[in-house]
Amino acid sequence: MVFSSNVFLLYFMPAFFLVYFLMPRKIRNYVLLLASLIFYAWGAPEFIIQLIASTVANFFLVKWMCKTEKAGLKKLLCGLSIIIPIGLLLFYKYGNFTMENLNAILGLTGHAPLTWKRIMLPIGISFFSFQSVTYTLDTYRGVNKPMEKLTDFVLYITMFPQLIAGPIIRYCDVADQIRSRESTMDDRLQGFYRFVIGLCKKILIADVIGAQVDAILGPANFSLLDADQISNIFTKVANLDSTTAWIVSLAYTFQIYFDFAGYSDMAIGLGRIMGFKFPENFDNPYTSRSITEFWRRWHKTLGAFIMNYLYIPLGGNRKGKGRMYFNLWVCFLLSGLWHGASWNFVVWGALHGFFICADKLFLGNVMKKIGKVPSVILTFLTVNLIWVFFRVEDFGLAWLLIKRMFAFDFALLPFSANAQLYVTMIVADFFSFITLTKFGQKVEEKVYFNDFTNGQHIAVWIVAAFAFVFCVAALNASSFSPFIYFRF
Amino acid sequence: MILFALLMVFLFVPIIQEWTDFIPVRPLKGVIMETPKPELTFDNYKSNIYQTQIEKYASEHFGLREPVIRIYNQYVWSAYNKTYCHFIVPGKHGYLYYALAVKEHFGTELLHHYKSNEAAMKDVDTELRMMNKVRHVLKDYGIEFLAFIAPDKPEVYPEYLPRCDADTTTVHIDEYFSHRMTETGFPFINMTDWFVQMRDTASFPLFPRTDSHWRYASIYGFDSLFRFINTLDGEAKFPTLHIGPPIVYESDKLEGDEETLNLIFRIHGDKTQYKSNITVEPDNTHRKPKVLFVGDSFIYSMNDFMPIREIMEDREIWFYNNTAYEGFDNKTESVKDIDRLSHILNADYVVFYSAGHQWWEATYGFAKDALLQLCVSDSLFEASVNEQADKFRHLEGYDNLTEKQLRDQMEWMLRNNPELIPGLEGEDMPTIRNTERIEQAKFTNRIKADKDWLTTIQMYASKQAISFDEALHEEANRLLKNESLIRDEYVFDTAVFIQMKKQEIIKSWRPNPKIMQMIQQKAKERKLPIDVVLEQDAQWVINKQIEEGSLFQ
């Protein structure tokens, strides 16, 4: 189940909150746990048992790890507890990728390919496996005590607001809130407002733009297309004028931001309704002045995870400059691979790693010297170009699109031909960069983080309710495409 | 606290509405393929089919769906001149066009059907050859077959079309058909040029701004068609019509396509509508004609604007040669399920009519099928299938088929290429006839024309639990073979008659969405299955007719 679906918005969410708030406080965690399991079982019926089994196993392994005095056994249990979720992640997410590459190598060396049954990727596996790891390591490092109740731990792993697409919540950030939390009326209302903001980002911006991107670039993965369809996509891209090619790449840049940030907003909002304070995941990433800054603002919880559980354990910057650059590269390569099991994601990660290293070497200083606006523009354009490799799995097509962007055969496109896309992109552009101004920062502070007066609550409530209705309308109107009614 | 309570109520409004319909809503217009309520089984759930279908089902049934969809439709329409309605293209100043007509206007529709002009023209020639053959055979039975090309809105009002890239190298299908029909002497009338000439002088719009079909102006099109038919050889003639000047009035009713956009507000404030008083000059020298129309939706306005009962004895429409609307009360059946030959032979005129852009599909398979029905007996068809099967049996691609598969393919091939059957080949007019079936069809029409005889056959069918057509067939066969008739043998049975009438009523309700919505509502209230409520209501009507004494009349 995804948040931007009718089943969630019109049935699951109202029913859940009604039951949740009608129940006494002591029982609410159980209600949330049950709802989370239903939520996950709805979307990944074949994986729910493995999810519960691995979570229960982790819980007892970590408990045992904390009880034992023997350092060797402690390490062994810690390792086992990490291997289970990471093993599941490797198997489910990278099984197909590994086999495809192995067969490619076998093919090159003249050997017969191996046969295997394709593995379906369970939703959310990338997120809950990382959360499981944070629990084990934070407990191992003594940052937090282990959970006492199994149900609390299963709840931490499976909590539905953040189960599918994050934010990646470190165990230490949320442990106390699971045990005890307050949900004021202000939290509940502001949580709803935040949820609606996320819903608008997803449905009114990302989905509208995404439909246009898909119309030109086709689906991200070509595996379901036949040769003719793939050839048509190539022809379409080869015939793009530079203006359209730039529009396509910029559209995707906005689509991915508003899609992902929207989902994070919805997760944070849902959590807040229940009294959880989930960490922020995005901080206006397109206003960054360098790629390094971009990664401090984009998918912050992933950045924090990589920093704490990969970069620092690898040695960070403590083992000399050469090692630091190597560590950064490895981190970004793996970050790319975490986003998807395909070489284009590796290239995407590698390019980011390259620019991070370049920042450290010289680029960071150059960006500082050229001033705020030019550095923001240059960083944005760089990110935009690199996103092409994220969106397009086929390198040939990605390269073709980039070539069209720099073919310099710009055309004047009539606004009316695709007005909805252009208006939506202007709106996306506005909200992506508004915090470059002081006024924008104030607006953001007010909307996202400040408490409202009663009068403000009423006004915002009405706006949020209308926006919610409008999002449901957008979600359904495009799928209601009637044929002309014949009048007999 | 109050706001939070209100929020919870707000979130529950759609569910409450879905269960209770407590807020009256304006229903959405248009036709969609409705998702059936998915069945929750373990297999469906495990394979995610249930989840996918329930999401779709929910999107079609949630409470307040109608106003919610109208809100967004209004937004995309007002802000971007855009609609999600299939096949409707918004033009400038609120003009609506039919997408395929727009493509035809810009010359891009051909490529959806053919790879080249030559391929398209070859198919037109074949189709027209078969139309001429059908016409030739029908003439033997005093029936005229002709064609009517209705105008396309983009041709008449091109200035409001959206900007599009035109392909000037492709052939326009209605133009090519017109050219070839003229050459081969097939009678036809093309309204396009006349409408284009008339547009600047007419005191009324030739097409409504928000409908891709013609409306009021169709009066002049149909009048021309009737006049044209009267110049042909048929015995029956249309009476002369006197069309009064346009009467302007206002109506809140939305015109066809605008209704399907499902907006909140009207596209424009102009509610002007037109009508004319049409008087029919009695003609005692000729009988009124029975007409079979085969074609598209451009015929609808004939019902709305013409006094059809006064100018025709009977009329039948085969919509896209798919759905048959029989008689003036539009009794609906599938064309493939009716005795097509008897229906064709019952007409004085068979008119194939279609808007210009629809001629890519001409004649929706009618000419092929009519040719087979009129000329090819079952035994000849069977022999032709055998002959073709023998030719293909050993060819690559066919050698691995079972006998049944091979014969199915041959049947399909012959139905699509009847000119492969001996006697129908080439340019010559066919000499063969499906004599026995034609005689039988004529008898069928004789029975149908006699009301008492028809009722007896209906009752017989009801009692024997066979279809009406089967019973009719049996009686026609008895006539053909000079055997004793059902009419003479059957004894009137009131219970059977009432049951038959009840079934007729139910059958006439089922295609009517308004009646069915009412029945569904009653079924919901009474907690009964829909079929039971249909039976109860039909019985109520019968009782009423018995009370009034109208049932047995």
pLDDT of residue A486: 41
Contact B297 A486 (CB under 8 A): yes
Q: Could you tell me the residue range of the domain that residue A23 belongs to?
A: 6-180
Q: Report yes or no: A458 at the B interface, CB cutoff 8 Å.
A: yes
Judge whether residue A19 has pLDDT over 90. yes
Interface of B with A in 163-202 (CB under 8 A): 163
Known catalytic residues of A? 339
Q: Which of B62, B256, B260 sits opposite A482 (nearest CB)?
A: B260
Interchain proximity A46–B11, CB inside 8 Å: no
Identify all chain B residues contacting A419, using CB atoms and an 8 Å cutoff. Answer: 79-82
Closest Cβ opposite residue B48 in set A17, A18, A45: A45
* B15-26 pLDDT, tens digit each: 888 888 788 888
Summarised one tens digit per residue, pLDDT across range A21-71 is 999 988 999 999 999 999 988 888 888 888 888 899 999 998 888 888 888
B72 and A474 within 8 Å at the Cβ level: the answer is yes
Asked if B11 lies within 8 A of A13 by C-beta distance, the reply is yes
Which candidate from A472, A474, A483 shows the least CB-CB separation from B87? Answer: A483
Q: Is residue A456 part of a domain?
A: yes
pLDDT of A487: 36
CB pairs under 8 A between A and B: 151
Hey, is the C-beta of B89 within 8 angstroms of any chain A C-beta?
no
Residue A359 lies in a domain: no
Same domain, residue pair A26 and A145? yes
Same domain, A139 and A244: no
pTM comes to: 0.79
Per-residue pLDDT at B553: 58
A412: in domain: yes
Is residue B255 pLDDT above 80, yes or no? no
- Give the confidence band of B154 by pLDDT, cuts at 50, 70, 90: very high
- Residue A425: exposed, middle, or buried by beta-carbon count in 10 A (0-12, 13-18, 19+)? buried
Q: Which of B11, B48, B84 sits opposite A481 (nearest CB)?
A: B84
**Which of the pair, A226 or B196, is modelled with greater confidence?**
B196
| Share of residues in chain A with pLDDT > 90 (%) | 31
Q: Looking at CA atoms only, how far is residue A468 from chain B in angstroms?
A: 10
Residue A392 pLDDT > 50: yes
With bands split at pLDDT 50, 70 and 90, how would you rate the model's confidence at A97? Answer: confident
- Give yes or no for B332 touching A (CB within 8 A): yes
Q: B40 CB near a chain A CB, below 8 Å?
A: no
Mean pLDDT of B133-138: 96
pLDDT of residue B464: 82
Task: Quote the mean pLDDT of chain A.
Answer: 87
Q: Which of residues 4-23 of B touch A (CB under 8 A)?
A: 4, 6-8, 10-12, 14-15
Quick one: CA dihedral A17, A19, A24, A25, positive or negative?
A: negative
What letter represents residue B313's amino acid?
E
A466 interfaces chain B, CB cutoff of 8 Å: no
CA distances from B498 to A322, A340, A442, B504, B529 (A): 97, 69, 79, 10, 22
A419 lies in some domain: yes
- List all residues of chain B from 283 to 322 with a beta carbon under 8 Å from chain A: 297, 300, 317, 319
A70 in a domain, yes or no? Answer: yes
pLDDT in tens, B85-101: 878 889 988 899 998 99
Q: Is residue A326 part of a domain?
A: no
Q: Are B35 and B56 in contact (CB under 8 A)?
A: yes
* B positions 98-137 inside 8 Å of A (CB): 98
**Residue A59 included in any domain:** yes
Q: Is A395 on the interface with B (CB under 8 A)?
A: no
Chain A nearest-CA distance from B382, in A, is: 38
pLDDT of residue B381: 95
What pLDDT score was predicted for residue A456? 84
Mean pLDDT of B471-490: 84
Confidence grade of residue A181 (pLDDT, cut at 50, 70, 90): confident
Q: Name chain B contacts of A10, Cβ cutoff 8 Å.
A: 14-15, 58, 62
Do A103 and A84 sit in the same domain of this protein?
yes
Tell me the domain boundaries of chain B.
2-94, 101-364, 372-420, 502-553
Mark whether A414 and A267 lie in a shared domain. Answer: yes
In whole angstroms, give the CA distance from residue B84 to residue A483: 10
Residue A312's pLDDT is 86
Give me the residues of B, 206-225, that contact A with CB < 8 A: 212
How many domains are contained in chain A? 2
Instruction: Measure CB to CB from residue A480 to each of B69, B163, B325 and give the nearest one.
Output: B69
Q: Is the pLDDT of residue A402 over 60?
A: yes
The answer to whether residue B55 neighbours chain A at the CB level (below 8 Å) is: yes
The whole-angstrom distance between A271's CA and the closest CA on chain B is: 16
List of chain A residues whose C-beta atoms are within 8 Å of the C-beta of residue B300: 486-488
Q: What is the 3-state secondary structure (H, E, C) of chain A?
A: CCCCCHHHHHHHHHHHHHHHHHCCHHHHHHHHHHHHHHHHHHHCCCCHHHHHHHHHHHHHHHHHHHHCCCHHHHHHHHHHHHHHHHHHHHHHHHHHHHHHHHHHHHHHCCCCCCCCCCCCCCCCHHHHHHHHHHHHHHHHCCCCCCCCCHHHHHHHHHCHHHHCCCCCCCHHHHHHHHHCCCCCHHHHHHHHHHHHHHHHHHHHHHHHHHHHHHHHHCCCCHHHCCHHHHHHHHHHHHCCCHHHHHHHHHHHHHHHHHHHHHHHHHHHHHHHHCCCCCCCCCCCHHHCCCHHHHHHHCCHHHHHHHHHHHHHHHCCCCCCHHHHHHHHHHHHHHHHHHHCCCHHHHHHHHHHHHHHHHHHHHHHHHHHHHCHHHHHHHHHHHHHHHHHHHHCCCHHHHHHHHHHHCCCCCCCCCHHHHHHHHHHHHHHHHHHHHHHCHHHHHHHHHHHHCCCCHHHHHHHHHHHHHHHHHHHHHHHHCCCCCECCCCC
Percent of chain B with pLDDT over 70: 99
Question: What is the rounded distance in angstroms from the CA atom of residue B142 to the CA atom of residue B139?
Answer: 5
Which residue in A has a C-alpha nearest to residue B77's C-alpha?
Answer: A420
Q: Cβ contacts (< 8 Å) between B1 and chain A: which residues?
A: 185
Last residue of one domain, picked from the residues A136, A161, A180: A180
Quote the tokens at residue B42.
């373990």
The answer to whether the CB atoms of B31 and A483 lie below 8 A apart is: yes
Domain final residue, candidates A156, A180, A204:
A180
Residue of B nearest to A42 (CA): B51
| Residue A186 scores a pLDDT above 90 | no
pLDDT at A146: 85
Task: Provide the residue type at A167 as one letter.
Answer: P
Q: Are residues A156 and A192 in the same domain?
A: no
Kindly determine whether residue A484 and residue B256, on different chains, have CB atoms separated by under 8 Å. Answer: yes
Q: What's the pLDDT at A481?
A: 59
pLDDT mean across residues, chain B: 88
Q: Å from A2 to nearest chain B CA?
A: 11
Contact A6 B12 (CB under 8 A): no
Contact A488 B257 (CB under 8 A): no
Tell me if B141 sits within 8 A of B194, measured CB to CB: no
In a shared domain, residues A34 and A174: yes
- As given in the structure block, the two tokens for residue A291 are 């790629």
Inter-chain touch B87–A469, beta carbons under 8 Å:
no
Same domain for A436 and A403: yes
Which one of A4, A10, A17, A120 would you mutate to disrupt binding with B, by most B Cβ within 10 Å of its Cβ?
A10
Instruction: Note the pLDDT of residue A480.
Output: 60
Q: For residue A88, tell me if it sits in a domain.
A: yes
Cross-chain Cβ contact A474/B85 below 8 Å: no
Q: Are A17 and B86 within 8 A, CB to CB? A: no
Q: Identify the pLDDT of residue A307.
A: 87
What's residue A482's pLDDT?
A: 57
Contacts of B62 in chain A (CB under 8 A): 6, 10, 476
Boundary (domain end) residue, out of A158, A180, A202: A180
B260 in contact with A, Cβ within 8 Å: yes
Same domain, A67 and A169: yes
Question: Are both A43 and A161 inside the same structural domain?
Answer: yes
Same structural domain, A125 and A214: no
